[in-house]
Amino acid sequence: MQHKRNPQLNKNGELIHLLSTEGLSKQLLTHILDTAENFVSVSDREVKKVPLLRGKSVFNLFFENSTRTRTTFEIAAKRLSADVINLDIARSSTSKGESLLDTIANLSAMAADIFVVRHSESGAPYLIAQNTAPHVHVVNAGDGRHAHPTQGLLDMYTIRRYKGDFSNLCVAVVGDVLHSRVARSDIHALTTLGCAEVRVVGPKTLVPADMAQMGVRVFNNFDEGIKDCDVVIMLRLQNERMNGALLPSSQEYFKGFGLTPQKLALAKPDAIVMHPGPINRGVEIDSAVVDGPQSVILPQVTFGIAVRMAVMSIVAGNDA
Amino acid sequence: MSTVNQGQIELDAESIYKEFCAGIKPLIKPNTALVGVISGGAWLVKRAVQDLSLSSPFGVISSGLHRDDFAHRGLSDGGQTKLPFQVDGADILLIDDVLYTGRTIRAVLNELYDFGRPSSVRLAVLVDRGGRELPVQSDYSAVRLSLAPGRKLTLEQDAGGRFNFSLESKSAT
């Protein structure tokens, strides 16, 4: 049987699209994180811009709402000197009945170089990557429940920045794993980077049954799941994706799985707390933890710019 | 400065380095900041600061974010720029191992200006191998060579800090 090539890589194994952290090697993930390290310091320069994407056009195609991700992609592209076009697709052509591929064909005709795509349907960025012109690169900014690779990478960058090597770390991903593309991207990246222990913590209704197959330990008890962890990644309770009664109420959820200072005390004393945002204070996390000394939630946002600069400059530098 | 022809002489990197140290000494004023181009120039600066007992500020600079061949070579791995002094108004002596097309120095000048406006920038290199494609010249070179475009001259440094040159034929890019 012929081995199918990873659609994110060219024949030399170089990254041409970023669609998922799944299937990327440790070497490639490390290369992205190392490259991001170079871009973090660009914010400290007198001129906060580098010319790597000068003359290139980055189209932000957000078929689903987003503020933080779209804004950080926009800042990242502008710091790379690209021209940025933000399209609120949900309110334009598709609402008039145009197909996804027709929209892409039209935008390609406007000389796009990079598409940053967010879509509520899992796999939409793959479809675009497979049907776009060879010189166009696609970066997944979140597709359905499937993947959010730049969030996964910025989480890895944040962990590496605060904790160094992954090989001695215990990382707990806590909350609504069922609906979370961030959780999947984090887990794939953590296991590839050699994290010693990855835990998934949440109520049975919000943790998929097959999770253990991804190389993680599943805990349905918060106290046990968080005990002695180095990193706690809290996930947002995704009310907008909930169909059916998966939870009694958000208050009940907070009682069982909300991160309070008392619960955090079960983790290691120097544990860091992360959250992909937006935060539901008092639902999955207490305000005292969000604003507390162990929280690295705002640095995550800052690092997100450097990581997205790294991803866009790497894919743009590689030919299909 | 020595002038040699390609193939005529073995390049003894250590003795060229000694000549280089003697040659750059008059170029260094009390307020001159030394800046080494990553990677060979950065090794040179770190060693020269020690060997010449300089108290001058020094830093390292990467051409990576301003290279004109990014579109087909992509981003290269390597260190990042660290300039632990005020670039605005500084007198800077750029140091590199091999001066060839001039494209690296063009990129490095752009990188430097992202940090401020120096009062002056000069360039000292270990070897000027000819083959310029841009109007870039050095203020000092320890050796001047004429190498064919197909040859690749690279400075190497061993674990003990000693320099060595490798000269290879490369495929056209």
Say whether residue B10 is in contact with chain A using an 8 A CB cutoff. no
Give B14-35 pLDDT, tens digit per residue: 999 999 999 999 999 999 999 9
Instruction: Write out residues 73-102 of B within 8 Å (CB-CB) of A.
Output: 73-75, 77, 80-81, 87
Inter-chain Cβ pairs, chain A and chain B, closer than 8 A: 44
The number of helix segments (H) and strand segments (E) in chain A equals: 11, 9
Question: Which residues of A fall within a CB distance of 8 Å from B71?
Answer: 316-317
Residues of chain A under the 50 pLDDT cut? 1-2
Instruction: Give the three-class secondary structure for A269.
Output: coil
Rounded CA gap, A83 and A89, in Å? 18
> Which tokens belong to A306?
């450097």
> Which tokens belong to A62?
């957000």
Q: Does A296 or B7 have the greater pLDDT score?
A: A296
Give the closest-approach CA distance of B152 to chain A in angstroms: 23
Give the closest-approach CA distance of A51 to chain B in angstroms: 6
Give A224-237 pLDDT, tens digit per residue: 999 999 999 999 98
Q: What pLDDT is attached to residue A93? A: 62
Say whether residue A51 is in contact with chain B using an 8 A CB cutoff. yes
Instruction: Give the three-class secondary structure for A210.
Output: helix
Say whether residue A50 is in contact with chain B using an 8 A CB cutoff. yes
Beta-strand pair A170-174/A231-234: parallel
Q: What pLDDT is attached to residue B130? A: 95
Rounded CA gap, A38 and A293, in Å? 26
Query: What type of residue sits at position A103?
Result: T
Instruction: Choose, out of A52, A81, A314, the residue to mutate when testing the contact with B (most B CBs < 10 Å).
Output: A52
Residue B62 in contact with residue B93, Cβ under 8 Å? no
Contact A41 B80 (CB under 8 A): yes
Which ipTM was obtained for this model? 0.74
Q: What pLDDT is attached to residue B171? A: 56
